[in-house]
Structure 1
């Protein structure tokens, strides 16, 4: 079975510079046992990074021991759906790449919230409302 995105199509790659994803494959395939998991593909912004740091999720500091270079605005990264939702509720959500966001994000985040912050809206966005 192939992985699906929130649009219902094949899951596209999120980012490889740096390589993202729970499994470091470049795709937002979530780990088992975590609702939503690392399923939301975002384009990080300075505001999103600052908010994540404020809530205890420092994504901008390098962690060489984990092979993590630290993120800078403009990079694409797979984030935990609950963490993205926290920033959404705070009005500080990062833009979302829908085609690279795993369908399991919908376990945690409402489709309309993702659409509201989408940077890749399909030709017929009404298809997202079903």
Structure 2
């Protein structure tokens, strides 16, 4: 995890172009490769563990990606309700 990034990375999201672009506008470029961190960049359909707060922000902005509920850590429940997580499960 990059220095200064101490968020609750508990939501296993299946990222979309809309979410990646939103994240970029919030100062978190998940698209551009960053060899320094051995990060190849994400593309729509990739799974990535997001901060629960960032996912919730995306929900309010109507760009929240579907999630892999089985791979999402229960720590997400401290930020997001189970009903919402279940609603956004990729199996729904």
TM-score over 0.5 (shorter chain): yes
**Unpaired stretches in structure 2, ≥5 consecutive residues:** none
TM-score under structure 1 normalisation? 0.63
User: RMSD value over aligned CA atoms?
Assistant: 1.4
RCO comparison, higher one (Cα < 8 Å, 6+): 2
User: Which residue pairs with 2:27 in the alignment?
Assistant: 56
**1:118 equivalent in alignment to 2:89:** yes
Task: Report the counterpart of residue 69 of structure 2 in structure 1.
Answer: 98
Moved over 6 A (4+): none
Report the count of equivalent residues: 88
Higher helix share: 2
Question: TM-score scaled to structure 2, two decimals?
Answer: 0.88
Question: Structure 2 CA distance, aligned partners of 1:82 and 1:61?
Answer: 22
